[in-house]
Homo-oligomer: A and B are copies of this chain.
Amino acid sequence: MKLCVIGLGLLGGSFALAVKAIHKNTFVLGVDANPAHGQRALERGIADEVLPLPEALKQSDLVVLATPVDVIYTLLPEVLDLIPDQATVVDLGSTKDLLCQVVAQHPKRGQFVAAHPIAGTEYSGPDAAFASLLEHKTMIICEREKSGPASLALVEELCRDLQMPLRYMGAKEHDLHLAYVSHLSHISSFALGLTVLDKEQDEKNIFDMAGSGFSSTVRLAKSSPAMWGPIFAQNKKNVSEALESYIRQLQEFKATIDKDQQQEAKELMAKANEIRRILG
C-alpha cells in the first residue's frame, strides 16, 4: 500500500510507524511544510520518500491528514480534488464539525473518513513520534454514513490492525464532548502554568516546592500553541461554554473558602472524587 502522510509530527509520524510495523510492504510518502521535519522523518524511518503534495497524492492509496486542524481544514478540499478515484483520505484532527461541513457537498465526500484518535502527548514533531502511541486508544469516526463503504472499510480494518477500538458519532456531538474531556483540560493547564509562572519569579521555588501533583496538573501546558490555537478556534462555542462552567465551579469553590464553609468544600471534593469510578 502507498500511504501518504501529510504532517510528519507526533500523530502522523506515530501512525506511519505503527502501520509500517504491521504491514511490512507499506511505502510511506511524506509531506511536510517544514523541510527539517521531512528530513527527520526520513532519518527515523517514518517516511520512505518526501515529496511535494500533488506528486505524493497522485500515487497514494490512503492519505492521512495529520497537520494542525486549520491546515486540515484548508487542505482537505484540495486533497479530495487531487486524489485518484480509488483512494481514501482520513484525517486525525481534534475538531470535526467545521471540517465535515466544508466537504459536505464535495463530489468525492465518500472517499473521506472523518476520524480522531484519542491519543497524544504534550510533545510534538517527528522526534516525538513512536509506534505504540495509538495502540489500544479509541478511534472516533464521525459521520460514518457520509463515507463510502470501501473507504470506511479500509479505515476500520486498519484501526483493528492497530488495536484501536472504534466508536461512531456525529461531528457536532464529537466536538461538544471533546470540549469537556480534552480541550478544557488543556486550557486549565495553560492557565495554571501562566498563574504560577506569573507569581513565582524565582524558578527555584517552583522546582523545589512543586511536587508530582503540580507536574501532573500542569503537564499539558507544554503543548504546542500551533496545534491547540486552531482547535480552540474551530470549537469556539463548545470550548467557551465548557470554560464558563469551569470558571463557575472555581468561583463556587472559592466562595466556600472565603466564607469558611468547610463542610460545603468537602462535599464538592467528595463529588469530584467520583471521577475515580470512571478513571480507576
Question: Which of A's residues lie within 8 Å of B, judged by CB?
Answer: 118-122, 137-138, 140, 165, 167, 177-178, 180-182, 184-200, 203, 205-223, 225-226, 228-230, 232-233, 236, 239-240, 242-247, 249-251, 253-254, 257-258, 260, 262, 265-279
Contacts and interface: CB of A to CB of B under 8 A. Distances in A.
Given A190-B272, A206-B275, A243-B253, 19 more contacts: A122-B213, A137-B211, A140-B209, A182-B213, A185-B192, A186-B213, A187-B253, A188-B192, A189-B217, A195-B249, A206-B279, A210-B279, A213-B219, A213-B220, A222-B275, A229-B265, A232-B262, A240-B258, A246-B250
Contact of A266 (B185, B199, B211, B229): B229
B200 A181 contact: yes
The 7 closest A-B pairs by CB, nearest first: A225-B269, A193-B272, A185-B217, A181-B210, A191-B249, A225-B266, A193-B275
Overall SS of chain A's interface: helix
A45 B10 CA distance: 46
